Amino acid sequence: MTSASIWQDVEFGSYGADLPLWVELAEQAGGPVAELGAGAGRVSLHLAGHGYEVIAMERDLDLIQELERTAEERGVSLSVVAADLSSPTEVRLPARPALVVGPLHVIQVLDADGRPALLARLRELLAPGGVLALSLVDESTLLTAGAASTQILPDMRELDGWVFSSEPLWVQVGDRALTVRRLRESVSPEGRMERDIHDELLYRIDPESLEQEGAEAGFRPAGRKQVSSGENEADSTVVLLEVPA
């Protein structure tokens, strides 16, 4: 596994609170499903394993190779497309999806200047009547996640004798963005430790503003879904945007 796929697995691999929702939406869509920022395949592999036609969109070539390898190992079929969401006009898909999902707040990686172009391109790519489902951080729970706990335990994985851990340190709320800081540690089989600070930047946007941006791109609001992540994890609001049939 590559470094990128290892940390994807450590920090997100065990998260499954949103998976039932993506399966529910895929069942309703009745057609191909595309995932934005598929990473190592947590969602795409899950949907493909349930028999859905899946198009996984990812820009990191190492993660693409890992996703293809894992799909082959599991015996599931999916299409993997190299796609940089910050350059949406270059995105090409092998089929028109009936559903596009953006788990784990991937839409918030783009700022207010970058989102409109992506939304407009997704409007072009989706089939008539198709749905775009985008997950946003529920900030009301982000700031209280883990407040009742004296210590949030780090996410951990063991791989080939190496032990990897990622510990959330703090969340900084700025006017435009959220910064989530983690302490990443890796311990070799010989006991050598490496430490690194990793910051994840998420641009702030509320559901109403995203619905407005979607309307400007040609979508119409189609409701919202709530994902409850449990203790020590922030919840998510999934905004549904529909292409007029």
pLDDT of residue 143: 62
The whole-angstrom separation of Cα 237 and Cα 232 is 17
Any idea which fold 141-202 has? N-terminal domain of TfIIb (2.20.25)
Asked if the model's pLDDT at residue 148 lies above 60, the reply is no
Residue 44 has pLDDT above 60, yes or no: yes
| Distance from C-alpha of 215 to C-alpha of 240, rounded to nearest angstrom | 11
pLDDT band, very low/low/confident/very high, at 146 (cuts 50, 70, 90): very low
Is 81 within 8 Å of 94 (Cβ atoms)?
yes
- Residue 149 pLDDT greater than 60, yes or no: no
pTM: 0.93
Domain boundaries, the chain: 3-140+205-242, 141-202
Burial class (CB in 10 A: 0-12, 13-18, 19+), 94: exposed
CATH class, 3-140+205-242 region: alpha beta
Structure tokens given for 9: 């697995």
Q: Which of the four pLDDT bands, split at 50, 70 and 90, describes residue 224?
A: very high
Copy the structure tokens of residue 5. Answer: 């796929």
What percentage of the chain carries pLDDT values higher than 70?
96
- Summarize pLDDT for 96-143 with one digit per residue, the tens: 999 999 999 999 999 999 999 999 999 999 999 999 999 999 998 876
Contact of 97 with 127, CB cutoff 8 Å: yes
Only one residue has tokens 């697995």, namely 9
Given a cut of 50, whether residue 207 has pLDDT beyond it is: yes
pLDDT tens digits for range 170-205: 889 999 999 999 999 999 999 999 999 999 999 999
pLDDT at 137: 95
DSSP letters, 70-119, are HHHHHT---EEEE--TTSGGG---SS--SEEEE-TTGGGGS-TTTHHHHH
Reported as half-sphere exposure (CB side, CA atoms, 13 A), residue 19 has a value of 16
Segments in the chain forming alpha helices (H): 3-12, 19-29, 42-49, 61-74, 115-125, 139-142, 207-216
Q: Residue 101 corresponds to which tokens in the numbers above? A: 């999902």
What mean pLDDT do residues 240-244 have? 97
Domains 3-140+205-242 and 141-202 fall in the same CATH topology:
no
Signed CA dihedral, 88, 90, 95, 96: sign only = positive
Identify the band that residue 151 occupies on the pLDDT scale cut at 50, 70 and 90: low
Do 61 and 85 contact (CB within 8 A), yes or no?
Answer: no
